[in-house]
Amino acid sequence: MLRRSGFRQQSIEEVKAKQEAKRALRASTSPAMRSKAKKGSKSKKKVKTAADFKKDLDDVYSLYIRQKHEDSNGVVECYTCRKQFTVKTIQNGHFVSRQYLATRWLDDNCRPQCWGCNGFGKGRLLDYEERLKKDLGSEYVETMKASRHISLKLDRHWYTAEIEKYKLLVK
């Protein structure tokens, strides 16, 4: 036995009209329709942030350091473990951490390091420091460690000039 729900059953025409109204509403608010409506408007150009400039400079500077220490056969030696790698497989290691802008792009602070030493070994700082002191002198290394606390405020003009400088130095 069927019970009455209290709702009037709709005719097929009423259901079709309701479905058409829903489709029209969805079409007018769909992403495709919104993008067509905006085609005439101008899109805003994204402004590069300081982080974008810093990343671009890091990329080109890292390649510069790795190529600078490359021999004539295209081989680069890890500064701490002395294993040999190609320019593409070795990294740019920093003695004084990259967080300090005063020494982040200093040639004497940066040397090629393999992933094992730079990543897993966290830079192997004792070996790095020992070799740096042999190469540059212990007094200079101590001065470099102390200079990390110099506060710098770098602007977009400085970043773009440095990026262009290192792009010219990279092969």
Question: Considering Cα of 77, then 83, then 86, then 88, what sign does the dihedral take?
Answer: negative
Domain span at residue 158? 50-169
Please, which pLDDT band fits residue 76 given cuts at 50, 70 and 90? very high
How confident is the model at residue 36, as a pLDDT?
55
Q: Per the structure, how many domains does the chain have?
A: 1
User: Does 62 map to a domain?
Assistant: yes
Report helix, strand or coil for 57: helix
User: Does 131 map to a domain?
Assistant: yes
How confident is the model at residue 32, as a pLDDT?
59
User: Does 5 map to a domain?
Assistant: no
Please, which pLDDT band fits residue 28 given cuts at 50, 70 and 90? confident
Rounded to whole angstroms, the Cα distance separating 98 from 152 reads 13
Mean pLDDT over 114-123 rounds to 95
User: Does 67 map to a domain?
Assistant: yes
User: Does 119 map to a domain?
Assistant: yes
This prediction has a pTM of 0.73
How confident is the model at residue 155, as a pLDDT?
92
User: Does 141 map to a domain?
Assistant: yes
User: Does 101 map to a domain?
Assistant: yes
Asked if the model's pLDDT at residue 38 lies above 60, the reply is: no
User: Does 142 map to a domain?
Assistant: yes
Asked if the model's pLDDT at residue 136 lies above 80, the reply is: yes
